[in-house]
Amino acid sequence: MDENGHRGGVPITRRTVLESGTVTAAFLLGGFPQIALSAEAADTETAITPISVELQVNGALHRLTLDPRTTLLDALREHLALTGSKKGCDHGQCGACTVLLDGRRINSCLTLAAMHDGQSITTIEGLADGEALHPLQAAFIEHDGFQCGYCTSGQICSAMGMLSESRAGAPSYVTENLVEAQPALTDAEIRERMSGNICRCAAYPNIVAAIKQAAGAPT
């Protein structure tokens, strides 16, 4: 087996091995070339014990066997081929990886898939109803809420979470009256509440307009 996981002409990737659900010694050695085999290295490196994780993603149940280091983002993209959630910075700074965990927005790059066994995740792929776009998706198109589009799935998932926080009456740093039951969703409020999503094309004014429109629409 070479360093890319090819054996006898049959390409074996970490994904195919992991998803077969069977874990063998050959997989442990071949799938993780970074783990040295010498006894000396074994003293300092922790052996990888794959773990089994069940994720409910966009309504479908998936059973995965994963290296414990797998982030939720990598599980979605690399193991479930849901590549709508993007890897921007991989450090929780850009928001491109935003998904909804039990309805709440989080950075999927800064959490382990193993921590979410049995939980429900919604990604950008799960928002539309068949061919009918979610009102937020439609509003982003109508208002040109993007240029390159790389941050867009994160922006839209984040906006989903933000609107439900807002409906629940959660304040933000710019809310003047902390005890107000339902702070109005002004432009300043939308900007503050969406500050965890960076758009390097700077489509911000259009993103705010799209979210404002969707906030008034049934979701």
Partner 1 sequence: MKAFTYERANSLAQAATGSTKPGAKIIAGGTNLLDLMKLQVETPNHLVDINRLPLDKIEDTPEGGLRIGAMVRNSDLAADLRVRQRYGVLSRALLSGASAQLRNKATTGGNLLQRTRCYYFYDVTKPCNKRDPGSGCAALGGFNRIHAILGASDQCIAVNPSDMAVALRALDAQVETVNADNATRAIPIAEFHRLPGMTPQIETTLRQGEVITAVTLPPPPPGKHIYRKVRDRASYAFALVSVAAVVDAAGGRIRSARLAFGGLAPTPWRVAQAEERLIGASASERTFDSAASDVLNGARGFGGNDFKIPLTRRTLRAVLTEASLT
* Residue 127 φ then ψ, to 5°: -90, -40
Residue 162 interacts with partner 1 (CB under 8 A): yes or no: yes
Chain-centre distance for alpha carbon 192: 21
CA distances from 34 to 30, 71, 192 (A): 9, 18, 42
Q: Give me the least distance between CB of 19 and partner 1, in Å please.
A: 19
Rounded Cα distance between 177 and 165, Å, is 16
Question: Does residue 38 touch partner 1 according to CB under 8 A?
Answer: no
The secondary structure of residue 46, as a DSSP letter, is: P
Q: How far is the CB of 163 from partner 1 (least distance, A)?
A: 11
As a whole number of angstroms, the distance between CA 128 and CA 126 comes to 6
Using CB under 8 A, pick the residue from 58, 65, 71, 122 that binds partner 1.
71
* Count, residues near partner 1 per rule CB under 8 A: 47
5 and 14 Cβ atoms separated by less than 8 Å: yes
Q: Is 195 in the site for partner 1 (CB under 8 A)?
A: yes
Q: Which stretch binds partner 1 (CB under 8 A): 6-14, 22-30, 167-175, 206-214?
A: 167-175
Interaction between residue 90 and partner 1 (CB under 8 A): yes
- Residue 69 interacting with partner 1 (CB under 8 A): yes
Strand 120-122 with 51-57, pairing: parallel
Retrieve residue 6's tokens. Answer: 């090819």
Token pair of 143, please? Answer: 């208002």
| 173 lies in the site for partner 1, by CB under 8 A | yes
From the list 65, 122, 153, 172, which residue makes contact with partner 1 (rule: CB under 8 A)? 172
State the minimum distance, in angstroms, from the CB of residue 61 to partner 1. 19
Query: What angle, rounded to 10 degrees, do the helices at 135-142 and 204-216 form?
Result: 140
Q: Give me the residues that bind partner 1 (CB under 8 A), please.
A: 35, 45-49, 51, 67-69, 71, 90-92, 95, 98, 101, 104-107, 110-112, 114-115, 117, 158, 161-162, 165, 168-173, 175, 178-179, 191-197
